[in-house]
Amino acid sequence: MKVRRALPTLIATCATICILMPSVAHAANTTCANADFLFINERAQYGIDASSNLYFKANVVAGRSYAVMAWGPFQDAGEGGVSLGVDLFSDNTCTGTAGGMNATDYEPFLFGIIGHSADHDNIIPTATGPIYIRVNNSIASAYTIHVVIVETTIFSPWWFTGGTNQAYVEVRNNMNSPTTVELTAYQANGAVCGTSSTVISGNGNAAILINSLGTCAAALSGSAQIAFPGTPGGVVANITTINVPQGTSFDSPFSPRMVWGGFSR
């Protein structure tokens, strides 16, 4: 009986506290200065007004690669359709195009379906820090959108060039369109020992010898990363270190830092 009498009092107390607590006003992210923060690989759901813009910001690292995508998950042609554009900027006034931006659309496409034309931009940033994202609705009706920035960089933890060992990076382009693979090789202390930029045809592949890059042969061992313009999973790669005279080899596959879809709001 005591518990039953205490419950209404508890509910009333909670209601009073909730009423007395001040609510926080959030400015709509309809200007660059009021851009909402996006955590990398976090999918955000927003309502966008007719013929309007929404703005977002995210922290990126120079030399890595990111895909920025916006689409309409619910709107169909019978309801007015979807028409979205994505633009990337380097400043909080959204006047300077972000360095390293690439507007090429790679499959799986966000357009090509009747009533749905969305957008995907890529960036390999030239500077570490924030980038600003503008999503434009060019249709005179409001609807729900999803926005996400995904890091597409892939990493391998090991290669070895000591003795008669040779380390090869094998790369495949999983997309139908050509892309440029930006390989960075690091020595054991994290310093860059060599780089390579290679264009790979759609569904094509390439092998890059780490021993031939910069000072990597003298560094003896290290790790590697690959950045590329394209959709998540658009490129896969492996490092094979092989010693022909000794008849030995080992593989060190590339993998992403984070998996897309781990976060949403």
Retrieve residue 105's tokens.
């659309």
- Kindly report the CATH number assigned to the domain that includes residue 60: 2.60.120.380
Task: Give the strand order in the sheet containing 36-37.
Answer: 36-37, 53-60, 129-137, 82-89, 116-117
The answer on 146 and 199 residing in a single domain is no
pLDDT tens digits for range 236-255: 999 999 999 999 999 999 99
Which of 116, 135, 151 is the last residue in one of the domains? 151
Which CATH number characterizes residue 236's domain?
Answer: 2.60.290.11
State percent of the chain over pLDDT 70.
88
Predicted pLDDT at 37 = 96
Same domain for 185 and 129: no
Q: Choose the final residue of a domain: 116, 151, 186.
A: 151
* Higher local confidence (pLDDT), 19 or 136: 136
Four-residue CA torsion sign, 90, 95, 101, 105: positive
> For 81-101, how does the pLDDT look when each residue is reduced to its tens digit (9 = 90+)?
999 999 999 999 999 999 999
What's the confidence (pLDDT) of residue 26?
A: 66
Q: So what's the pLDDT on residue 10?
A: 47
Domain that holds residue 211: 154-256
Number of domains composing the chain: 2
CA 122 remoteness from chain centre: 8
What pLDDT is attached to residue 264? 67
pTM over 0.95: no
In this structure, are 91 and 167 located in the same domain? no
For residue 23, pLDDT over 80 is answered with no
DSSP secondary structure string for all residues of 184-240: EEEETTS-EEEEEEEEE-TT-EEEEEGGGSTTHHHH-EEEEEEE-SSSTTSEEEEEE
Task: Indicate whether 87 belongs to any domain.
Answer: yes
Residue 11 lies in a domain: no
**pLDDT for residue 143 is more than 80:** yes
Do residues 77 and 120 both lie within one domain? yes
Q: How far is CA 234 from the centre of its chain?
A: 12
Query: Does position 192 have pLDDT exceeding 50, yes or no?
Result: yes
